[in-house]
Chains A and B, each alone.
Chain A
């Protein structure tokens, strides 16, 4: 199925793709009635060149992203970078899916993103804050420092938050 061709220098080159299969793909176009052997050769050869070009660009993208395996995302990026290829091929590629292992982790590895806490949960730092007063006038310190009296119950602040009791 492989068709041998010769260059001007006399060195033979081989077409990588079977001409019968190339012909069948061309025949999918209903308008195509007859194809010359020269046209078939040119289509096969240009397809090889296109594949080599796209593989090379995809490999470059993979190297940029520090990956050893060329995958679909690298091909998509290579297609985007070449205008003529993008014009006819970008819409034909499968839609981008959410990668399970992204090329660059968006979240630092040490601090995973947690789910939001359930309603009614209080932050722990509220425990250490002074209770805020509704009246802003009361929040001002008294003019005479001697009038400032300590709270009658020194454990009053702590009494507001329940302390677990070990029943055992």
Chain B
């Protein structure tokens, strides 16, 4: 149920590839197209900017959650920490619906002996 993510080789060498720092632009573009009206278009610059924005969002939420873990002397960031971070940062409307979904996933996963990650 947990993933150790601290010791990747790219981090050890302090070399972070650009594509590892950003989410795939195809996924970002596809998700944007689903939201925009049919006749709307998205400039390449806008897609690249949105790539940066969502990566920054992940880092922002993760940083807040990991800070909470550090203060409480825990090593594992869990779902409660993420929900707390979202609420603290002003995105509390995301937290609760996802929390309910996530609880269902974990129960199903433990029943089926399948690990989500």
Find B58's partner among A25, A38, A83, A92 (CB 8 Å cutoff): A25
Q: Are A51 and B79 in contact, CB atoms less than 8 angstroms apart?
A: no
Alpha-carbon gap, A22 to B70, bound state (A): 21
Interface bracket on B: 35 or more
Q: How far is the CA of A21 from the CA of B27 in the complex (A)?
A: 12
Q: Interface readout for A11-54 with B: 1 if CB under 8 Å, 0 if not? A: 00000111101111111111111111111111101111111101
Give the Cβ gap from A111 to chain B, nearest Cβ, in Å: 31
- Residue with the highest number of chain B CB atoms closer than 10 Å, among A26, A39, A52, A70: A39
- Per the bound structure, the CA–CA distance linking A36 and B60 in Å amounts to 18
A21 → chain B, closest Cβ, in Å?
6
The segment from A2-10, A113-121, A156-164 found at the interface with B is A2-10
B9-31, CB < 8 A from A: 11, 16, 20-24, 27-28, 30-31
Rounded to whole Å, the gap between the CB of A51 and the closest CB of chain B is: 5
Considering the complex, which residues of chain A in the window 43-89 have a beta carbon less than 8 Å from any beta carbon of chain B? Answer: 43, 45-52, 54-56, 58-59, 62, 68-72, 74-75, 79, 83-84, 87-89
Residues in B neighbouring A74, C-beta threshold 8 A = 46
In the bound assembly, the distance between CA atoms of A51 and B27 in angstroms comes to: 11
Report whether A16 and B31 are in contact in the complex, using a CB–CB cutoff of 8 Å. Answer: yes
The residue of chain A having its C-beta at the shortest distance from the C-beta of B91 within the complex is A84
A25–B55 CB distance below 8 A: yes
Contact code string B70-105 (vs A, CB < 8 Å = 1, else 0): 100001111101110010011100110011111011
Q: Is the CB of B46 within 8 A of A50?
A: no
| Cβ–Cβ contact A68 & B41, under 8 A | yes
Question: Which residues of chain B come closer than 8 Å to A8, judged between CB atoms?
Answer: 100-101, 104
Is A94 interfacial (CB 8 A cutoff)?
yes
Identify 12 residue pairs between A and B in the complex whose beta-carbon atoms are under 8 Å apart, listed by A's number: A19-B117, A25-B58, A28-B59, A36-B78, A37-B109, A38-B105, A40-B116, A55-B31, A56-B35, A70-B46, A71-B46, A94-B49
